[in-house]
Structure 1
Amino acid sequence: MTGQVGRVGSAAPALVLVAHGTRNPRGVDLVAALAEEVAAAVGTTRVAFVDVLGPSPAEVLRDLAVPAVVVPAFLASGYHVHTDVPREVAESGHPDVHVTAALGPDPVLASVLFERLRERGWRPGDAVVLAAAGSSDRRALADVRRAAAMLADLTGARVDIGFVATAQPRVADVVSRVRRETGRKVFVASYLLAPGLFHTRLAAAGADGVTEPLGAHPDLVRLLVSRYADVAAAGVRPELEVAPAR
């Protein structure tokens, strides 16, 4: 996804960027950087967290006196997206809130992952393991499989999946198996948004290389704005203008 996003008029709804939350300062800074980049395109942008940190989405929404578009910055739609976010919106009592689809899976994210792999030294013929946080929600696991398939389309080869926390198999086990079965170098594509405990664990997975998290990549910023624009243009504020992709 390329192209520039046009500035939204002052009457546009606020964007509430909802992230998981982390105690790692770098992860917190990354979310703040994303919000700053998004705000440059859409105007009023607030950050909320569903776990570990505050403020919560409900707290942020209570402080807004304008319509709001909630964008869940999650790479798969599990419990937080299907349960926490709707509950927080309901508890806020805000009269005009629209919730977008989650960030992933999406071809844009696959493209960023592919770029991160090449930056880390991956070359055609090397094996790839997609490392996701994991979830007990089958819908989230299905989303991760879709993300792996999208990345496989770009690498031209199979992409195996490993999980950092919830769900099996674990990343280190997958890396070991793939290396044993293929005899190839194995690179881990970090399907994580920001630095934190989960990403730190990937360094011990035994891979030949581990990519950086998706981070505040320009295409990811444009994807966030696109999620907002799709909802805003559809029914919240029709004056939103987005420049066509190039």
Structure 2
Amino acid sequence: MSAPALVLVAHGTRNTKGVRMIAALAEAVSQELGAGAAGHGAAPTPWVRTAFVDVLGPSPSEVLRDLAMSAGETSAGETLPAVVVPAFLASGYHVHQDVPREVAESAHPATVVTPAMGPDPALARIMTMRLRAAGWTPGDAVIFAAAGSSDARARQDVRRAAALLTEHLGTGVRIAYVATGAPRVPEVVAELRAAGARRVFLASYLLAHGLFQQRLHDAGADGVAEPIGVHPAVVRLIADRYRVAADGMTRVRAR
């Protein structure tokens, strides 16, 4: 029985560094799944493809249609199933609207969409590591810098993610947004300085380099953490999302 394909869906960016990061993440996930399959005598390494909901292509519907044509049919005469993993740090409009719409438009008959990547304790651990690499030390003020969303569910996810970072740092963080919503990052930087903060650091709740990460560097902070990016914990998180969904699909197909 063939392993379901994995379609990793990201937002999209014109920043070449960000595009390369998503490609590297997909490759790392493929290697992780391949190593796991080899170690347990499981099905072959699944196909791993990337798709984007904005800025550039291919779109999830295009990838799913191409997957159906390229992979052909399974030994049971069925189209190869697919697991769509949204590489988003919060579940807003893209996760709740764009991804399901793209799946429906593809007309792929056997697709499962997993939960988004975040919030998750693994991401808080990575953000802590990125902050320390940027020069943060206990006593420095921290701003939890997210892209922002008009979707209340995404804002709730951001609050949960900020609470997880607070637990790891052992100090409170202020939430601010770089694109949608208030307060904006530069405003909170100014407020903290006016309140007497010695140094202000930005914890980037962004997955990859792009326009939003550049805006963080222009916000006037003393230090800016790198995006979450490709990290073994991120790779395992995506692989685990896939495995849970793929195992469920396999059990259904075996009945």
Q: Which residue of 1 aligns with 2:144?
A: 130
What is the CA deviation profile of residues 108-152 of structure 1, one whole-angstrom value per residue up to 9, with x for unaligned ones? 000000010111111111111011111111111111111100000
Partner of 2:2: 11
Measure, in 2, the Cα distance between the counterparts of 1:237 and 1:144. 33
Cα distance in 2 for residues equivalent to 1:219 and 1:179: 34
Q: TM-score, normalised by structure 2?
A: 0.87
Which of the two has higher C-alpha Rg? 2
Name the structure 2 match of 1:103.
117
Query: 1:174: which partner in 2?
Result: 188
Correspondences of 1:154-165 after superposition (within 5 Å): 154-165=168-179
> Cα distance, 1:184 vs. partner?
2.6
**Bigger relative contact order, structure 1 or 2 (CA pairs below 8 A, ≥6 apart):** 1
Mapping for residues 234-245 of structure 1, pairs under 5 Å: 235-237=248-250
User: 2:104 is matched with which residue: 90, 97, 118?
Assistant: 90
Paired residue for 2:63? 60
- 2:159 corresponds to: 145
Q: Aligned partners of 2:182, 2:197: CA distance in 1, in Å?
A: 23
CA distance in 1, matches of 2:243, 2:152: 28
Q: Given residue 138 of structure 1, which amino acid in structure 2 is its aligned partner?
A: A
Structure in which a larger fraction of residues adopt helix: 2
Distance 1:176 1:12 in 2: 52
Cα distance in 2 between the residues matched to 1:151 and 1:117: 11
- After superposition, the CA RMSD in angstroms is 1.1
The residue type paired with residue 222 of structure 1 is R
Q: CA deviation at 1:40?
A: 1.1
Quote the offset at 1:237 in angstroms: 2.6
Paired residues, number: 228
Contact kept in structure 1, 2:52 and 2:60, CA below 8 Å? yes
Which structure 1 residue ranges, 5 or more long, are not aligned? 1-9, 239-246
* Equivalent residue number for residue 243 of structure 2: 229
Identity across aligned pairs (percent)?
Answer: 64
Q: Name the stretch that deviates more: 61-70 or 78-87.
A: 61-70
Choose which of 16, 20, 34 in structure 1 pairs with 2:11: 20
